[in-house]
Amino acid sequence: MKIKFLGTGAAIATSRRDNTSLLAEYNGRKILFDCPGSVVSKLAGLNTDFRNIDAVFISHFHPDHVYGLPSLIHSLKPGGTYPEIFVPEKLYQKTSDLLKIFNPDKTAEITPISAGGTIAKLNMKFFKTNHTPDSLGIKVETKEKILIYTADTGPVKDGTSIFSGADALIHDCYALSKFKKEIPELDKTHSSALKVGEIAAAAEVKKLFCVHFSGEVNFSDDSLIKEIRRNYSGKVIIPRDLSSYSI
């Protein structure tokens, strides 16, 4: 199983980090998790042909997770093969309307999903996250590996059980805990590095990948790791945009 990070930042991108998105490759499949801008270019930078994407998972309808979807579909030839798009069920109509604005003659299949639901053919299961009323995370479980992507979230209800023993947990890590005054949503609808360390330790995950870093306050990668290390002793990875990992 491979993970390719197209972007690792939050809604306000920086010169180092664009909006969070990643590609998971497993069992001969390529699944895109969230779809902000310039996906085609970023995939090319990762030596991946955008025409080979099998499916797209949209965690929620904030612009930094969905605004690149019309561009991705627009880039595909009419009558060609489109990736199947999985969206939280209450966002089905919004997603359909968004695609029709820019691509009225192209029909990508949109499949509504809900917490507790599964897509057996892709080894995917979905869980509720603590970000918006409709936001979902995704768990991919093959015979060999367990991969979890929370997208934006504060602490997830039953997270210890859901994340337990994961080979890779890709978790929102918005900022250091000291920024709670500046960022009141920290550890509510986004997660601090301190809280992420607690979560990873409780679930005994093998590798922790941190993403969705705030572009509004300043902190170093080392300071994030130091705060996480107060609770978690496993492997911590602060990925860069256009980086790839095997798990």
pLDDT at 28 over 70: yes
pLDDT at 77 over 90: no
Length of the chain (residues): 247
User: Where are the strands (E) in the chain, listed by range?
Assistant: 2-7, 21-26, 29-33, 55-57, 84-88, 110-113, 118-119, 124-128, 136-141, 146-149, 168-172, 207-211, 235-237, 243-246
* Per-residue confidence (pLDDT) for residue 79, from 0 to 100: 66
Residue the block writes with tokens 């705060």 = 227
Q: Which domains are seen in the chain, by residue range?
A: 2-242 (3.60.15.10)
Q: Where are the alpha helices (DSSP H) in 3-139?
A: 39-45, 63-66, 69-75, 92-102
pLDDT per residue over 121-175, tens digit each? 999 999 999 999 999 999 999 999 999 999 999 999 999 999 999 999 999 999 9
pLDDT at 105 over 90: no
Mean pLDDT of the residues in the chain: 96
Q: Decide: helix, strand or coil at residue 111.
A: strand
Higher-pLDDT residue of 228 and 78 is 228
Q: Decide: helix, strand or coil at residue 4.
A: strand
* Per-residue confidence (pLDDT) for residue 240, from 0 to 100: 98
What's the token pair of residue 62?
A: 């904030």
Q: Work out the pLDDT band at 106, boundaries 50, 70, 90.
A: confident
